[in-house]
């Protein structure tokens, strides 16, 4: 990992932890964001996860379906490939069907 990536990782992790300690993030949200940070910056994996998150964030209306999507993301096990695939499939289907 390059110096800039290490710096970005450290600053991001610090910010996430700080927000968690100040109760601006739930424990689940903090765990998710720290795991996401590891997947994106350290392992450089899961481009489909990143794209799905972007799609959701660009259309998030804070609806009931958006709350289900958020809960689905927060429950995903980043170490379990099958869990990750199921999460992405479910979220993609929810995003596609939200407009109907």
pLDDT of residue 100: 57
Give per-residue pLDDT as tens, 17-76.
Answer: 999 999 999 999 999 999 999 988 888 888 899 999 999 999 888 889 999 999 999 999
Q: What angle in degrees, to the nearest 10, is found between the helix axes of 64-75 and 27-37?
A: 60
The pTM of the full predicted model, rounded to 2 decimals, is 0.82
Same domain, 54 and 29: no
- The range of the structural domain enclosing residue 2 comes to 1-44
Does one domain contain both 50 and 98? yes
**Domain tally for the chain?**
2
C-alpha distance from residue 33 to each of 2, 7, 97 (Å): 21, 17, 26
Distance of CA 54 to the CA centre of its chain: 10
């Amino acid at each position: 990992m390059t110096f800039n990536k290490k710096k970005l990782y450290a600053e991001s992790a610090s910010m996430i932890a700080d927000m968690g300690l100040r109760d601006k993030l739930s424990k689940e949200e903090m765990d998710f964001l720290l795991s996401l940070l590891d997947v994106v910056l350290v392992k450089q994996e899961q481009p489909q996860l990143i794209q799905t998150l972007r799609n959701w964030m660009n259309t998030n209306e804070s609806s009931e379906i958006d709350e289900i999507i958020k809960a689905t993301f927060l429950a995903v096990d980043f170490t379990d490939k099958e869990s990750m695939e199921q999460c992405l499939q479910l979220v993609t289907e929810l995003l596609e069907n939200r407009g109907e």
